[in-house]
Amino acid sequence: MFKDRTVPSHDVHTTVGEISLVGLRDILRRVCFPNYRYTDTKSSVVAQFESQRVPTGLTSAHHGKARGIDVHEQLSTYISKGELFWSNEYNYGCSPYVERIMAALYSQRLRPIASEFQDYFNNIKIGSSIDIICEDLDHPGIAIVELKIGGENYFEKSNGALIGPRSLTNFNNSPRNQALLQLLAYRAMITTNYPYIPVTRCYVLQARTDSIVFFGLTAEFIRAQNELVVALAGRRRYDISRQRGGAAQRGRGSRGGSQTRASAMRWLPPAN
């Protein structure tokens, strides 16, 4: 059952009954890992595999991105419309990743029931799409799955520590931990908006070239859920105040705008 919440639109102009939302990924980056730089991780001492480099068959970074978009789209079609529709729709272009991912989910006793499920923090106007929601066949409830395609040679490399939330700053800022934070935010959305549906498991599923790996949310991450939401809300309020301050400055002149900016600074989340 859907609550009375708005659906994100590709149209930048809102109409009656719609509100504008910001994407989770961008605000999560600014709050939790603004210090991450992919180029710096190349010299990281944290290696992902003993072999250091794994052949992926890709010749360029944008090829990996294109493959990821294709797999997400095909998997969404498979889950929402069934295997027969998917195979007829993509024919000879069917991605082998799709059946591998489906088999891996069932091996964990998870049955996919929804994909690209749009959910929100309405009070702070943050929205996103959850990659996969599964029925947990072993426990009464659902499992949330964040899907990552490829990234074998950098997924667990970092160039620093997480900036927030405060209790997780002992973890590094690798893409793996970034994905776990994204997953944690999804868990917060579901448990807040649908408290009558138990969330039994949460996984980041990384589909590598030669294997599929599940990363579960640890107890430390789960305990930080409310802290993460508070940090995101603080950043969102600060951003909104800055926007209003900028509008006031344009409307009243530099002196009034400066006063408004000073007021907006009170919304900054606590320094870590």
Between the two ends of the chain, the Cα-to-Cα distance in Å is 39
Confidence (pTM)? 0.81
Asked whether residue 261 carries a pLDDT value surpassing 70, the answer given is no
The CATH class given to the 22-229 domain equals alpha beta
Specify the range with the lowest mean pLDDT, choosing from 7-21, 75-89, 214-228.
Answer: 7-21
**Residue 216 token pair:** 């579960």
Specify the pLDDT at position 6: 46
**Percent above pLDDT 70 for the chain:** 75
Residue 239 exposed, middle or buried by CB count within 10 Å (0-12, 13-18, 19+)? middle
The predicted structure's pLDDT at residue 264: 33
Task: Write down the pLDDT at residue 210.
Answer: 87
**pLDDT tens per residue across span 188-241:** 999 999 999 999 999 999 999 889 999 999 999 999 999 999 999 999 989 888
Angle at 208 (CA atoms; ends 89, 228), nearest 5 degrees: 100
Q: What are the sequence ranges of the domains in the chain? A: 22-229
At residue 43, the pLDDT reads 63
Q: What is the pLDDT of residue 176?
A: 97
Q: Residue 65's pLDDT is what?
A: 80
Of 64-73, 130-139, 179-188, 263-272, where does mean pLDDT reach its minimum? 263-272
Average per-residue pLDDT in the chain? 83
Q: Is residue 259 over pLDDT 60?
A: no
The string of pLDDT tens digits covering residues 39-61 is: 888 665 554 444 445 655 555 55
Cis peptide before 165 (omega within 30 of 0): yes
Task: Give me the pLDDT at residue 240, please.
Answer: 84
- Give the pLDDT score at 205: 97
27, amino acid identity: I
Residue 3 is encoded by which pair of tokens?
């609550």
Rounded Cα distance between 102 and 100, Å, is: 6
- Rounded Cα–Cα distance for residues 89 and 74 (Å): 9
Phi, psi for residue 164 in degrees, rounded to 5: -160, 165
pLDDT recorded at residue 249 = 66
Q: Which of 11-25, 27-41, 190-204 has the lowest mean pLDDT?
A: 11-25
Evaluate if residue 11 carries a pLDDT over 50.
Answer: yes
Q: Hey, what are 105's tokens?
A: 């989910």
Q: What is the pLDDT of residues 57-70, one digit of tens each?
A: 555 555 668 888 99
